[in-house]
Structure 1
Amino acid sequence: MRRVRTTHLVLALRGLGRRRVRDAALSVLAPVVACCAALAGLTAWAGAGRAGSPTRVRVTEGRVLLPSVGVPETAAFFRIANEGGSADTLVRITARDVPGDVTLSQHRMERGDMAYRSEIDSVSVAAGERLAMSPVGVDLTVPVPSKAWRSGDLVPFTLEFRRSGPVRVLAVVVRPGTVSPQ
């Protein structure tokens, strides 16, 4: 009888050992699979030439709306292309020929076809993407200088990006209605 109990005890311990090994193997399997998947993704990203590639921001087609008489602000628009492999964010805009701060704005629609402008702190441009500023989307609110602008005048701006740094660009003064909504 004593021998039977010992045999059961040995079998029970063997079963417990196998169960522990199996449980341990299963608990290790999930992180190993996750690491392999992450490594495969990083390998594909690096193989595509995206790993570590810097942002390459290009700013073109600057336009400033000719201000109406007596109106203290006008709008400016640019096309921004991020041709690099990393996202970048427009965080600050300056213009030395204007009397105050240039602000980044977003136009939003309300019920009943009402639109309003809200100031935003920044706007992101994903890698390989473009941003076309427009009267119905993102634009710049620019204080009007005391010296009147004329159609065709050039206004210097500096657009500062979080990763790319400052980009200096000229915007031409145009009559309202010549900037297409997009």
Structure 2
Amino acid sequence: MPVPSARLRAPLTAVGVPVLACALALCGLGAWTATGRAGSPPHVAVTKAYVYQPLGSTRETAAFFTLTNDGGSADRLVKITSPDTAAPPALSEHRMTSSGAAYRQPVGSAAVPAEDGLTMTPHGTDVTVRPKGTWLPGEEVSFTLRFAYGKPLKVRAVVVRPGTETDRPLRP
């Protein structure tokens, strides 16, 4: 069989490379689909919820949630509401100044990665809340967590002393 001329090889190479790239991409997408993860929606659940008891004359405190997402797609926590707070709860992150002072910075949303989750802590992401009345350890505070893609989740967070957490089972 004769060797193709240079004039024929150049167009075949120009067409062949994109066709090969598309074929490889289709094989990869087919494998992803075969594993059952393609198009799998987020599936977020709350496994822990607690809120610090306000101390002294402090009007604000913080709530913390541990969220898991065993779905195939990421989601975002975009809003939190509560009938038990004097002002709407706000997502925030703790930041440090160059002099070492801590402050809260409001954030619009928090990522809940696929096949992972989000654990809120006093040194990272949390929810700033202002109680309507006095909250005592052991009481429960109602929250509704709203997500960009998933269903809203209603949860009751237990009030604990600052610096502690709770192992109490969650109640919807």
TM norm structure 1 = 0.83
Task: Give 1 or 2: higher helix fraction.
Answer: 1
CA shift, 1:40, in A, is: 1.5
Letter of the 2:104 partner, please give it.
R
Q: Distance in 1 between matches of 2:62 and 2:163?
A: 12
Do residues 142 (structure 1) and 132 (structure 2) align?
Answer: no
Do residues 47 (structure 1) and 34 (structure 2) align?
Answer: yes
SS in 1 for 2:20: helix
SS in 2 for 1:156: strand
CA shift, 1:54, in A, is: 1.7
CA shift, 1:112, in A, is: 4.3
Gaps of 5+ in 1: 1-16
Q: Of 87, 93, 118, which residue of structure 1 is paired with 2:74?
A: 87
Q: Distance in 2 between matches of 1:114 and 1:30?
A: 56
Deviations 1:78-120 (CA, angstroms, capped at 9, x unpaired)? 1000011111110110011111111101112343433221111
Q: Of 144, 163, 167, which residue of structure 2 is paired with 1:177?
A: 163
Q: Of 58, 83, 100, which residue of structure 2 is paired with 1:113?
A: 100
Matches within 5 A, 1:1-182: 18-145=5-132, 147-179=133-165
SS in 1 for 2:111: strand
- What is the Cα-based RMSD across aligned positions, in Å? 1.7
TM norm structure 2 = 0.88
CA shift, 1:20, in A, is: 3.4
Q: Distance in 2 between matches of 1:124 and 1:91?
A: 9
> In 1, are the aligned partners of 2:84 and 2:131 still within 8 Å (CA)?
no
SS in 2 for 1:102: strand
Q: Distance in 1 between matches of 2:19 and 2:97?
A: 50
Structure 1 vs Structure 2: percent identity of aligned residues?
Answer: 47
The structure 1 segments of at least 4 consecutive aligned residues displaced by more than 6 Å after TM superposition are: none
Q: Distance in 1 between matches of 2:96 and 2:21?
A: 43
Letter of the 1:164 partner, please give it.
G
Q: Could you say if the C-alpha distance between residues 29 and 167 of structure 1 is closer, same or farther in structure 2, counting changes exceeding 3 Å?
A: same
> In 2, are the aligned partners of 1:134 and 1:179 still within 8 Å (CA)?
no
> In 1, are the aligned partners of 2:76 and 2:148 still within 8 Å (CA)?
yes
Q: Distance in 2 between matches of 1:170 and 1:153?
A: 9
Q: Distance in 1 between matches of 2:130 and 2:47?
A: 21
Aligned twin of 1:7 = none
> In 1, are the aligned partners of 2:74 and 2:113 still within 8 Å (CA)?
yes
Letter of the 1:37 partner, please give it.
L
